[in-house]
Chain A
Amino acid sequence: NAGVMQNPRHLVRRRGQEARLRCSPMKGHSHVYWYRQLPEEGLKFMVYLQKENIIDESGMPKERFSAEFPKEGPSILRIQQVVRGDSAAYFCATKTGGAETQYFGPGTRLLVL
């Protein structure tokens, strides 16, 4: 019974490139959250999705960032034209519709050179 999976675990990009982060929810989980964590800081909410729908993207920067959760396949967090300030750990968490608790993936550590 696999937990939440994220890949890649580490990603290095040069300024201006695109970063694609993937999150595969636990079986049966249809709700996905993305968070960003800077070193020595807490988690900042970015976006909340259900299958094929963005429910709340109030934490997403207005430009360069997008997220999707298609009917089939993992949820994708996409960062276009990365800048050094995008360097952080990105975590996804998933849950079922009625659940009060999220389950976190191991995170993707993005380093922008």
Chain B
Amino acid sequence: SQQGEEDPQALSIQEGENATMNCSYKTSINNLQWYRQNSGRGLVHLILIRSNEREKHSGRLRVTLDTSKKSSSLLITASRAADTASYFCATTDSVYNFNKFYFGSGTKLNVKP
């Protein structure tokens, strides 16, 4: 299965600290994306990194991709209570079906005020 896996499963930090979440996957990918899900809501797209990119920034978000290790990390700097949510990585096949998305089981982030 291509399904990604995030770790840790849960993370609790104080407001202002940085939060790092990791995602590992199994086969070659076309791109990797990170999504956020607030409790009881749908997923919101955060950032996309392509297989030929190593790092990408968007505001307080920094994503890295290591295709040799088949892993990615999402760093949220200077966290806020509003960042409390579950974070999922999603990958698409590079070869077989780039229209199919595989989601990990998520990291539940709790940012304490």
| A residues whose Cβ falls under 8 Å from a Cβ of B | 4, 31, 33, 35, 40-45, 48, 55-56, 91, 93, 100-107
Number of B positions contacting A (CB below 8 A): 24
Q: Of residues 61 to 109 in B, which have CB atoms within 8 Å of A's CB atoms?
A: 88, 92, 97-106, 108
In the complex, the chain B residue whose C-beta lies closest to that of A3 is B42
Q: A104: nearest residue on chain B (CB-CB)?
A: B42
Using CB atoms, name the residue of chain A closest to B30.
A100
Residues B88 and A104 in contact, CB atoms below 8 Å apart: no
Whether B92 pairs with A100 at a CB distance below 8 angstroms is yes
Q: Tell me the smallest distance from the CB of A12 to a CB of chain B, in Å.
A: 16
Kindly provide the distance from the CB of A16 to the nearest chain B CB, expressed in whole angstroms: 27
Q: Which of B31-55 contact A (CB under 8 A)?
A: 31, 33, 35, 41-45, 48
Complex partner residue of A104 from B43, B99, B100, B106, CB under 8 angstroms: B43
In the complex, the chain B residue whose C-beta lies closest to that of A41 is B105
Is B104 a contact partner of A42 (Cβ separation < 8 A)? yes
A97 — nearest CB in chain B belongs to which residue?
A: B99
- On whether the beta carbons of A100 and B43 are closer than 8 Å, the reply is no
Task: Given A56-B97, A100-B31, A101-B48, verify A43-B42 contact (CB < 8 Å).
Answer: no
Contact B97 A45 (CB under 8 A): no
Q: How far is the CB of B54 from chain A (nearest CB, A)?
A: 18
Q: How far is the CB of B76 from chain A (nearest CB, A)?
A: 19
| Cβ contact within 8 Å between A42 and B103 | yes
7 residue pairs, one from A and one from B, having the closest CB atoms: A104-B42, A42-B105, A43-B103, A104-B43, A106-B42, A42-B103, A42-B106
Given A100-B31, A101-B45, residue A45 in contact with residue B88 (CB < 8 A) = no
Provide the residues of chain A in CB contact with B92, threshold 8 Å.
Answer: 100
B1-24, CB under 8 A of A: which get 1 and which 0?
Answer: 001000000000000000000000
Contact B45 A102 (CB under 8 A): yes
